[in-house]
Amino acid sequence: MGVRKTETCLIVWSAAGTHPATSIGSTPATIDPPEQLEYTPVFDAAAFYDAGDQGCGEGPLNKIAAIMRKLEPGQALELRATDSTVAVDLPAWCRLTGYKVEEQRGDRYLIRKGR
């Protein structure tokens, strides 16, 4: 078994080298892209990202990390995420990466880049 921490995730693998998806034996489903809705920002932030109903483990942390890298120190990102696990996972990820969740209002999160 191995463990590797990256900026956006923790990767764990077994010594057998098998990927869990290869043992399932099913064909991946085709998913239509979600309907694009326009949301009004709640916070006064330099950037906005809508993760929709994706949890942190489903990929939005890569996009959030890319946006945060482009921000100047002290600037903030407003994130909209409806998945309930984000309320726990996002603050933990921010502690690991040096960002800070300054405020949460419902499905909105204000993430500030450190100085």
Q: What is the pLDDT of residues 31-85, one digit of tens each?
A: 555 565 677 888 999 999 999 999 888 889 999 999 999 999 999 999 999 999 9
Q: Do the domain assignments include residue 13?
A: no
Dist CA 60 CA 32 (whole Å) = 18
Q: Do the domain assignments include residue 24?
A: no
Q: Do the domain assignments include residue 16?
A: no
Assign residue 60 the CATH number of its domain: 3.30.110.40
Question: Global pTM?
Answer: 0.67
Residue with tokens 């995420």: 81
The parent domain of residue 91 ranges over: 42-115
Q: Do the domain assignments include residue 17?
A: no
Looking at the 3D structure of the chain, how many domains does it have?
A: 1
Q: Do the domain assignments include residue 91?
A: yes
Q: Do the domain assignments include residue 5?
A: no
The token duo for 85 is: 């696990």
Position 25 confidence tier, pLDDT thresholds 50, 70, 90 = very low
Alpha-helix runs per DSSP H in the chain: 20-24, 60-70, 86-97
Average pLDDT of 23-37? Answer: 53
Residue with tokens 């933990």: 92
